[in-house]
Structure 1
Amino acid sequence: MPPPIVVLIAVSALNPLALNMLVPSMPGLERAFATSYATVQLSLSLYLIAVALAQLILGPLSDRHGRRPVMLAGMALFLVGTAACLLAPTIEAFILGRVVQGVGSCAGLVLSRAIVRDVYERDRAASMIGFVTMGMAVAPTLGPALGGALDEQFGWRAPFLLLFAVGVAVLAGTWATLNETRRPGQSEGGLAGHLGAFAVLARSRDFVAFAVSSMLVSGVFFAFLGGIPYVMQKLLGAGARETGLYLMWLAAGYILGNFLSGRYATRFGVIRMMAVGNVIGLGAVTGALLLHLAGYHHPVAIFAPMTWLGIGNGIALPSTIAGAVSIRPDLAGAASGLTGTLQIGFGALVTVFMGALLGDSALPLFLTMATLAAGGLVAGLAARAAVR
């Protein structure tokens, strides 16, 4: 029996909620812990690295032991990490808590995709992933605004108190409603079997094309996430609350893109949806770059095109992910984990890069995003050629 869609949405939402709720508070954390912006940004970068590496383990583990036990363990670990952040006396303890939080939250991120692939064939899986990610996109829509408002009103610990309460509710709901979906015959090897699964996938030209496209398209978003708090609050003089509210534009676009993916992926197929989304994303980033070069240095000149970036990514990413996990259905967990690792690991590197690159201008941010968007389009075309 397929799990309730609301359960998949809930477990998927924990990761982006924990990621995005912190973003408006980063300058505030810099002041609270009397440290540098680059050090605070490590809480974002190391969170992403933890998510990336954990996916390499959790995906294959779920192929061997089942989706349900691995999912429940991840949700419990998320609560441990959130509590550690909430009680952290130093920036070092806070960063450690974020790492634990990232490992736990990625269980929902990677296993929700594998569960969908367990139950549905490829094009139908792309449609269902679109609906799941449309729902989970509500988290980054509300997360920055909630995080910014709570930070300004009660301090940086308040968002983590809310995250802990949400985590308890999600764990309880998962325990009560999530059934096992792993089918007999899926990978059950040990460590050697897990590594072998990655090797098999890495030798597949089809898988590599889909995974690299997913990595680069996601990299555009992570570049923006790593650079926009600095641009908004240090270059444009906005506050945490205002930054969070503007970030809702991007998330709203992503929700619309996910809706379109869920509505039309079955009709048009993953290849066409991926191409359309990538073209929209590249056009949006190019528009933001041109507005900046023309001297329009205002949040609206940034976030209006970024809304279209959200639409493009929302259309493209469900199809790239569905394509990647459908190459070898018997290795769906490993494929989901490896794809997610490439997405999040590359995103972590991009955020570190943006922290080092930004100075007195936002131009490096837009140039980086445009380069990644162009690469994502090229990789998407390669994926199209690979499956023909």
Structure 2
Amino acid sequence: MSVDTRSGDTVDSTAARPVSPGVIAMLALLAAVAPLSIDMYLPAFPRMAEEFGVSASAIQLTLTTFLVGLAIGNLVIGPLSDRFGRRPLLLVGTFVSIIATILCAWSPTVEWLTVFRFVQGFTGAAGVVLSRAVISDRARGAAAAKLFSLLVLVNGVAPVIAPLLGGAVIGLTGWRGVFWVLAGVSVLMLVGVLAVLPESHPAELRSTGGLSAMIADAREVLSNKRFLGYGGAFAFGFGVMFAYISASPFVLQEVHGLSTTWYSIAFTANALGIVVASGANAKLVDRVRPEALLRIGLVAMVAFSALLVVDAVVGPYLWATLVLLWFAVASLGLVIANATTLALGEARRAAGTGSAVMGAAQFGLAAVISPLVGLGGEGTAVPMAVTMLVSAIIGLGGVIFGTRSAAE
């Protein structure tokens, strides 16, 4: 039992409410929108550059601004949901995201597309940040870890499906059709929120006092060393993934000479590794503590990333690279779900703010890591492997020192 400092009421901090299949499906859809919005239009980049008469970097900027919008949107929407509730922010964010997505489809110039992509990312962040907050509101411990494993599974499958789906849509309708499809998905999400997703953050637990209370929530979350440790594992776990996603096309195709088809097969196999590990995590959390599973995943990620560095320096050798990448990426299935469960467990009173900090760090790192892995050029695997290793070490170090400092 604990006392809510704002209302003075006694709150059972261990209580959990059942999560219906409809709510689970809705949360999965919320989690899928961001990776779909990132990956579905990637196959159209050359066509878009030709249509607008601009460079590839100008088209790439539309992706960068979307990621920046996601990061900032997390920081704004998450804390606001601690005050106003999850459902109103989801409804408003999703509605505006639908408008922004339609405007992306109508964009007459790449400049307008860039602006609308930022708005789409900012408002679409509601689904990303609040799906985590809703789970934290409604589930505890192993139950929460299972639900977060589902979100990790969705985020592992969506990047595989998105380019394939996007390629089919582009072939039929052109790149603008991708945004019409995304708008339709967002409409489905809005209807789903209205139909099956009740408010999960009761009024008596919401923050009051305006901006000062929001700042106090943020200060409380950021001063929690255990939250910072687990949140760091979450963010830098995604750092490993972004390093892999950004560099693997060049490493596997330019360095190792894989064809586009074989690269797609390898990418799919690695995504399935995340799915397998996430499924195993959902089964294991009933018997093994989430913190133990998190540490196992982080240690595995460090070990296989270190071996990737060795392989990149002395080789690289194709089969060694493929096997080590598979295990390093699959380790995310143990890291992300458990890090999310443990971090938000430390921010129970302000789950929206905690989720916002994690999401902003996640997408902020994505914007930083993408250029880092290209520093050595397209003919070496060393930058990718080193970036993965450094990210994994920081994630593990955060958990070790965060939990140790909090215990002292």
- TM-score, normalization by structure 1: 0.88
Aligned to 1:2: 19
- Higher mean displacement: 334-343 or 91-100: 91-100
Matched, 1:268 2:288: yes
**Could you tell me whether the CA contact under 8 Å between 1:74 and 1:104 is conserved in 2?**
yes
1:262 Cα shift?
1.9
CA gap 1:296/1:205 in 2 versus in 1, 3 angstroms: closer
1:27 Cα shift?
5.0
Aligned residues: 386
Matched, 1:74 2:90: no
Q: Equivalent pairs: percent with the same residue?
A: 27
- Structure 1 residues 209-254: Cα deviation after superposition (integer angstroms, max 9, x where no partner): 1122222111111222333445567765855x76555432332222
- Higher mean displacement: 372-381 or 338-347: 372-381
Matched, 1:200 2:216: no
Aligned to 1:119: 138
Q: Give the secondary structure class of the aligned counterpart of 1:268.
A: coil
Measured in 1, the distance between the counterparts of 2:44 and 2:100 equals 18
Q: Give the secondary structure class of the aligned counterpart of 1:267.
A: coil
Measured in 1, the distance between the counterparts of 2:108 and 2:174 equals 14
1:70 Cα shift?
0.8
Q: After the TM superposition, which residues 323-362 of structure 1 pair with which residues of structure 2 at under 5 Å, given as runs?
A: 323-354=342-373, 358-362=377-381
Measured in 1, the distance between the counterparts of 2:155 and 2:378 equals 33
List alignment gaps of at least 5 residues for structure 2. 1-17
Measured in 1, the distance between the counterparts of 2:121 and 2:107 equals 16
Q: Of residues 94, 102, 107 in structure 2, which corresponds to 1:83?
A: 102
1:71 Cα shift?
0.9
- Higher mean displacement: 230-239 or 35-44: 230-239
Measured in 2, the distance between the counterparts of 1:277 and 1:359 equals 29
**Could you tell me whether the CA contact under 8 Å between 2:374 and 2:383 is conserved in 1?**
no
- Structure 1 residues 135-171: Cα deviation after superposition (integer angstroms, max 9, x where no partner): 4433223113323454466543343332222222222
- 1:259 alignment partner AA: G
Measured in 2, the distance between the counterparts of 1:223 and 1:51 equals 18
Aligned to 2:244: 224
**Could you tell me whether the CA contact under 8 Å between 1:82 and 1:101 is conserved in 2?**
yes
1 or 2, which has the higher helix percentage? 1
Q: After the TM superposition, which residues 1-388 of structure 1 pair with which residues of structure 2 at under 5 Å, given as runs?
A: 2=19, 4-151=23-170, 155-183=174-202, 184-229=204-249, 231=251, 236=257, 238-239=259-260, 246-296=266-316, 303-354=322-373, 358-386=377-405, 388=407
- Structure 1 residues 305-356: Cα deviation after superposition (integer angstroms, max 9, x where no partner): 3332332111111111111111131111111111111111122221243456
- TM-score, normalization by structure 2: 0.84
Q: Give the secondary structure class of the aligned counterpart of 2:331.
A: helix
- 1:286 alignment partner AA: A
1:267 Cα shift?
2.6
- Structure 1 residues 161-187: Cα deviation after superposition (integer angstroms, max 9, x where no partner): 322222222221221111111022232
- Structure 1 residues 283-302: Cα deviation after superposition (integer angstroms, max 9, x where no partner): 3333444444454576x765
Q: Give the secondary structure class of the aligned counterpart of 1:181.
A: coil
- Structure 1 residues 67-102: Cα deviation after superposition (integer angstroms, max 9, x where no partner): 111111222222223222222233222222221221
Q: Give the secondary structure class of the aligned counterpart of 1:137.
A: helix
- Structure 1 residues 241-287: Cα deviation after superposition (integer angstroms, max 9, x where no partner): 76555432332222222212222224322211111111222333334
List alignment gaps of at least 5 residues for structure 1. none
CA gap 1:213/1:45 in 2 versus in 1, 3 angstroms: same
CA gap 1:248/1:181 in 2 versus in 1, 3 angstroms: same
1:122 Cα shift?
3.4
Q: Give the secondary structure class of the aligned counterpart of 2:150.
A: helix
- Higher mean displacement: 357-366 or 327-336: 357-366
Measured in 2, the distance between the counterparts of 1:341 and 1:111 equals 13
- 1:332 alignment partner AA: A
Q: Give the secondary structure class of the aligned counterpart of 2:288.
A: helix
Q: Quote the RMSD (CA, aligned, Å).
A: 2.7
Highest CA radius of gyration, 1 or 2? 2
**Could you tell me whether the CA contact under 8 Å between 1:278 and 1:380 is conserved in 2?**
no
